[in-house]
Structure 1
């Protein structure tokens, strides 16, 4: 059975259903011609079932079930990159290694993320290590990383203090957040005494 019109897809399964043949296929994860619309795209229709008119099989229609969803979304990849390695499952480790090894830019990005994550544990030498990280990151052609560096430099003294000092105001910020939540729950209409009771009893 030859599917000349589906050359841009990977055929995973073909089922004979009497009056029609059902083809299960997926994209090659690169821009390919859509069998029906003949346009180059890497993300055509999501999951779909449609008749491919140019691929008759013994005179019967062929229903194509095509999975054009990307194998790994940017959000999921970001979660894998930012997660602690100890918290990843074996299949996630394998997927991350395969993805980050796909191109030099991904390998460089993964290395930068891991190096910056180590800076988040306060240490006295983190100020020097931060400068080394910035110098390394600037040599790599990753525009989003360069934008992140510009943001760091807007308040570099605060960043250095956060990376080197054991002290922080996390507890205070937590109380502030809780107070704002209580105010929103009562539509900001409570007087001071009611708000005080809600905070103390909360």
Structure 2
């Protein structure tokens, strides 16, 4: 059964769906995003069917899926040399939302290419910043800076090995 709006009556009516018509699987925007980002070989049959339905709805959806998959593969394999060609491909499409994303990358292209090519990461620094923010949020309105300093610089000496 499908719900459809009839403009003359301005109310919802239930009408039976045709037997040859396959029902569209309802997806939230978040679920649709994960379908677009996941590797095609890791999708279940139901997910592949839902993705195919979305791509058949409009050619721009299929184009967006192709571009997203190309970008994800470039990020997974860390091939920064393909970034310029991908950005040109995005900017030549009618997808204005992806244009904004591509222009944002172009504004800081050196850093993005370095992130794709170089083996170094600032993950350790970001982890420490995340830890400090967590401690700060936990203590908000409860204690002063002295206690914050003690919690940040406190070290469990027993867990560290001593150098000879």
TM bucket normalised to smaller: 0.7 to 0.9
Residues 31-50 of structure 1: pairs in structure 2 closer than 5 A: 32-33=5-6, 36-37=9-10
Q: Does 1:108 align with 2:81?
A: no
Shift of 1:71: 2.7
- The equivalent of 1:94 in structure 2 is 49
CA contact (8 A) 1:119 1:129 kept: yes
Shift of 1:74: 2.7
Unaligned runs of 5+ in 2: 16-24, 157-164
- The equivalent of 1:185 in structure 2 is 138
Which has more helix, going by share of residues?
Answer: 2
- CA-to-aligned-CA distance 1:86-139 (integer Å, 9 cap, x gap): 44222011111221132211111000000000111354xx33311110111111
TM-score where L is the length of structure 2: 0.74
What CA distance in whole angstroms lies between the structure 2 residues aligned with 1:191 and 1:133? 46
Q: Does 1:133 align with 2:101?
A: no
What CA distance in whole angstroms lies between the structure 1 residues aligned with 2:136 and 2:90? 43
Name the SS of the counterpart of 1:168 in structure 2. coil
Name the SS of the counterpart of 1:151 in structure 2. helix
Alpha-carbon RMSD: 2.6
Residues 9-158 of structure 1: pairs in structure 2 closer than 5 A: 12=1, 25-27=2-4, 32-33=5-6, 36-37=9-10, 71-121=26-76, 123=78, 126-158=79-111
What CA distance in whole angstroms lies between the structure 2 residues aligned with 1:73 and 1:153? 30
Q: Does 1:173 align with 2:130?
A: no
Name the SS of the counterpart of 2:3 in structure 1. strand
Which has more strand, going by share of residues?
Answer: 1
Which has the greater radius of gyration? 1
TM-score where L is the length of structure 1: 0.62
